[in-house]
Structure 1
């Protein structure tokens, strides 16, 4: 029921959408900045991973699944916790939902502004590295900077392995570190942009095994600030504490890997999307 101000009495909530568990990195930032906001999770595991799929197939799939999960959750804000989905479908999602949609944009602009050497590395899935959106982002915000594109699809698998409790070793990360530091201009890199939401889950390991110290930059904190802005813009009042989260999946989770990965946001009820 709406209250006198026209808003529902239910606690404000946001749905964080991804094809896998990378959205956990975004959720952690939101939980840190806005602990009383209820978070729901929408995982399109039936189409995981997005990074290897074509744009023509992905765009309608993203809109369909995210729209269904928003309807099922009743969330006030959609957070697209996936760079691939954000670079492909934000306008279509905003049109379909008529609700705030917060997307993840690779942190190229702050990296370009803050680099002291003039050289940054952009670490992403192959799809994001090669997408026109990414090229235009670099042209607009990193003009005059050297940007080393580093495709690193294996980091998605390694981040998921880490969440299953497996150890990520120096040998696992060596191929990616080679692409960053031993490519043309790699000796001058001082900031690496983690342009996939899975990648911040490996920040500690990347920093530990890198041949030298650099900044590992992602968009998580900026996304959390944008969600906070929307809560103020919508005049949504937060309760003293968040309500239980819910997990929506597009396919069964027989080994409960996804549910276990999101267990830190308990209590959590799993609700497969229709």
Structure 2
């Protein structure tokens, strides 16, 4: 008597996730993605040759991001792209989505969840000066927090301090204290109860910032929401693996070989990234 054997169902290969930022702030997003999707290999790309983005012109940035993302996708077979930079997201997402045939996730300041969390109606927005000034941010506030008093403070210094921390350098805690004082002085009613960390660098300094701010002030960012969105898109594209491989290969790539990039090796290892590449662009 013949026996029929059903063919094994092929298991989905874990999709490679490309996380892109101007510096190392996007590692705060990468960490959330790794925790939610541990089986997926992740490529963390830092455009350190053009860092920081917040000081560059809009047309210049759009051209640069287009070029760098194009080069990265030629070299690495990523199946989903995360723009883990508020500046790049607000400027380049429409252009990238029109050009690229893969799911793209951007970063927006967590104003909507902050408005839902606040009990006092006073929320803080800590971002780069460019994000604070951008019309896109003002529109988010009008749309999601019209009933709130939003206290905004722009700081480029925090970006540099976060980069220093990951390189293992001593960070300027006095500068952190000054920024915290400025923020709290702007809170005339003394009722701010939620603070949005609206730059992906800033969650890397969450503990240091929390030490300088009132203990009842809740600090939130977009990292977890981005990770959920990545999971949703991979699910809808049938890119989630049937079983988890506990040892996916994570890789970091920089657009310029510098001593500062080299010094990030130990910090990257803390994010499970053992391989460093340089793609001079």
TM-score when normalising by structure 2: 0.89
**2:269 counterpart of 1:263:** yes
**2:165 counterpart of 1:159:** no
Aligned pairs, number: 269
Deviations 1:143-162 (A, max 9, x none): 01100111111100111111
Give the superposition deviation at 1:243.
2.7
Deviations 1:161-210 (A, max 9, x none): 11122343541212211221111436111101000000000000111121
**2:263 counterpart of 1:249:** no
What is the alpha-carbon distance in structure 2 between the residues aligned to residue 250 and residue 29 of structure 1? 24
Say which is worse superposed, 26-35 or 158-167, in terms of deviation.
Answer: 158-167
**2:48 counterpart of 1:35:** no
Structure 2: which 5+ residue stretches go unaligned? 1-6
Give the superposition deviation at 1:45.
0.7
Q: Give the aligned CA root-mean-square deviation in angstroms.
A: 2.0
Give the superposition deviation at 1:269.
3.8
Give the superposition deviation at 1:11.
3.6
Structure 1 partner of 2:222: 219
What is the alpha-carbon distance in structure 2 between the residues aligned to residue 267 and residue 250 of structure 1? 17
What is the alpha-carbon distance in structure 2 between the residues aligned to residue 83 and residue 76 of structure 1? 21
Say which is worse superposed, 223-232 or 261-270, in terms of deviation.
Answer: 261-270
Give the superposition deviation at 1:37.
1.0
TM-score when normalising by structure 1: 0.92
Structure 1: which 5+ residue stretches go unaligned? none
**2:97 counterpart of 1:94:** yes
Q: Counterpart of 1:137 in 2: which secondary structure?
A: helix
Contact 2:16/2:40 (8 A) holds in 1:
yes
Question: Using a 3 Å threshold, how does the CA distance of structure 1 residues 236 and 211 change in structure 2: closer, same or farther?
Answer: closer
Higher radius of gyration, 1 or 2:
2
Give the superposition deviation at 1:246.
2.4
Give the superposition deviation at 1:212.
4.1
